[in-house]
Amino acid sequence: MSEFDSGTPLSDRVLAVLAVRLDPTGFVRLSWDRDLRITGEMARAAMALVDATNAGRERPLLVDMTGTAALTREARMTFSRRCSASRIALLGSSPVDRVIANFALGVSAVPVPTRFFTSEPLAVAWLTDGAVGT
């Protein structure tokens, strides 16, 4: 499991464990490193990057959390705040991913439609077309 090195400047540390990019089909993809314990600080940085990418617009957000080791309570609280994402698809593959995703969905009240997927095409379809399926 990787952890943030508190001595590294925030932007570098965040860039080291996540990636945010705008997909040509119109949604934003946020990808986390595997085996990561996502903290509140990381969550805030990720949301800031997503907002910066959207530049005042609202777009669907695909969060690839496959292989995430843990999600702290503070991180879950951070994700429960409204950002520039119009809807959020959480993408994972293992039972661990599912448990973590559903903690994020169930314990905190999410501000926009949010669902967990194990299939990326279905996730993208739900994000872009509103199609239902997991």
User: Binding residues for other proteins, per CB under 8 A?
Assistant: 1, 35, 67, 69-73, 93-100, 103, 107
Rounded Cα distance, 10 and 125, in Å: 33
Q: Among residues 33 and 51, whose Cβ is nearest to other proteins?
A: 33
Shortest Cβ 59–other proteins spacing (Å):
28
Q: Among residues 54 and 114, whose Cβ is nearest to other proteins?
A: 114
Shortest Cβ 23–other proteins spacing (Å):
23
Contact yes or no for 88/110 (Cβ under 8 A): yes
Q: Among residues 28 and 63, whose Cβ is nearest to other proteins?
A: 63
Helix residue spans in 1-134 (DSSP H):
10-17, 40-54, 73-79, 95-107, 120-129
Q: Among residues 23 and 74, whose Cβ is nearest to other proteins?
A: 74
CA nearest neighbour of 110 among 77, 71, 68, 70:
77
Between the CA of residue 11 and those of 42, 44, 96, 109, what are the distances in Å?
10, 11, 28, 28
Shortest Cβ 93–other proteins spacing (Å):
5
Name the amino acid, one letter, at 36: L
Shortest Cβ 71–other proteins spacing (Å):
7
